[in-house]
Homo-oligomer: A and B are copies of this chain.
Amino acid sequence: MTAFEPIRFEPGYRRVATAIAARILDRTLREGDSLPPETELAEQFAVNRSTIREALRELESADLVTRRRGTKRMVVTRPAADQIAGRVGQSLALHDVTVREVWQTLELIEPPIAAEAALHADAAAIEQLRAAVSRYAADHETAQQAVAGVADFFRAVAAASGNRVLPMTQEPLLLLLVAALEVMIDRAPPARGRIAVAQQHVLAAIEAHDAVAARDWMGKHVRDFRRGFEISGIDVDSPVPAPRRD
C-alpha cells in the first residue's frame, strides 16, 4: 500500500509571501512598482499586520522587494546578480568547498568564456575591459585593491561575451576567489606582476577577436593562481574562507 503523504501546514506568513512572490514572478507586479502599505496588505489578505511583516521579511531576504535608501515604501525589484551570488558563495563556503575546487572550476570555465568574449565583444565592452586592465595596472598596492581588480577583470571579460548568464554563473566563484586570494596574494610576491601581464595578453587577444589566443592566455592566467596558492604554502585542500558579509 502507498504510505500517506505527510500533510503539510503552511503558516500564514509563508502563504502570503509566496502569493506576493508569484505576482512578481508572473510580472503582474513589475520592477519599480511599490507595494501597498502594510495595513492595506493586511486587509487584503485578511491577516494581521505582523503576519504581513514576516512575509515581507522573507521577500526582502529573497531580494524580490527592497526598501530604497532611507525611504519608506517597499519597491519590487529583480534580484541582481551580486546579491544572489553572495548566497551561493555562502552556501559553498559552508559546505567546506576547498580552494582547489574553486580554481579547478575557474580553470574549466574561464578559458571558454574568454574565447566567447573574443568572438562577441563590441567596442563598448572592449572599452570597459581596457578600463579594468588599466585600473589594475594603476592600483594594486594593497591586497584588497589587487584582488578587487582581479575580480573586476574577470567580470569585464564575461560581460564582453554579451551573454548575461555567464557573469552570473561565474560571480559566486569570484567571491570565493576573492576571499581566498586576499590570504594568498601577499605571500606570493611575483603574483601581482604576472597577473598584469596575463591581463594584457587576454585583452589584446579579445581586441583582435582571436578566440584561440584569448582561451590560451586566460588558461595561463588562471593556472597562475594555482601556482600562487602552491607557492604561498596555503593548503589547497583547506576550505575557502566565507566571503565577506555585506
Judge if A121 is at the interface, Cβ distance under 8 Å: no
Shortest CB distance A159–B (Å): 13
The one of B50, B54, B87 in contact with A84, judged by C-beta atoms closer than 8 angstroms, is B87
In the assembled complex, the Cα of A26 lies from the Cα of B69 at a distance in Å of 29
The one of B9, B79, B91, B95 in contact with A70, judged by C-beta atoms closer than 8 angstroms, is B9
Of the four ranges (under 10, 10 to 19, 20 to 34, 35 or more), the interface on chain A belongs to: 35 or more
The one of B102, B165, B245 in contact with A101, judged by C-beta atoms closer than 8 angstroms, is B165
Judge if A25 is at the interface, Cβ distance under 8 Å: yes
Which chain B positions have C-beta within 8 A of A50?
50, 53
**B168 and A91: CB pair below 8 A?**
yes
Judge if A131 is at the interface, Cβ distance under 8 Å: no
Number of copies: 2
Which chain B positions have C-beta within 8 A of A61?
17, 57-59, 61-62
Shortest CB distance A114–B (Å): 10
In the assembled complex, the Cα of A79 lies from the Cα of B62 at a distance in Å of 13
Q: A87-B79, A108-B113, A245-B18 are in contact. Are A92 and B168 (CB under 8 A)?
A: yes
**B69 and A91: CB pair below 8 A?**
no
In the assembled complex, the Cα of A172 lies from the Cα of B171 at a distance in Å of 13
Instruction: Give me 16 A-to-B residue pairs in the complex whose CB atoms sit less than 8 angstroms apart, sorted by A's number.
Output: A18-B245, A31-B94, A58-B60, A61-B61, A62-B87, A79-B87, A83-B91, A84-B91, A87-B87, A101-B164, A104-B163, A105-B163, A105-B165, A109-B112, A112-B112, A169-B173
19 other A-B residue contacts (CB within 8 Å) besides A24-B94, A169-B169: A8-B70, A50-B53, A53-B54, A58-B60, A59-B61, A62-B87, A63-B91, A79-B91, A83-B91, A88-B88, A91-B168, A92-B165, A95-B164, A102-B165, A104-B165, A105-B165, A105-B166, A108-B112, A169-B172
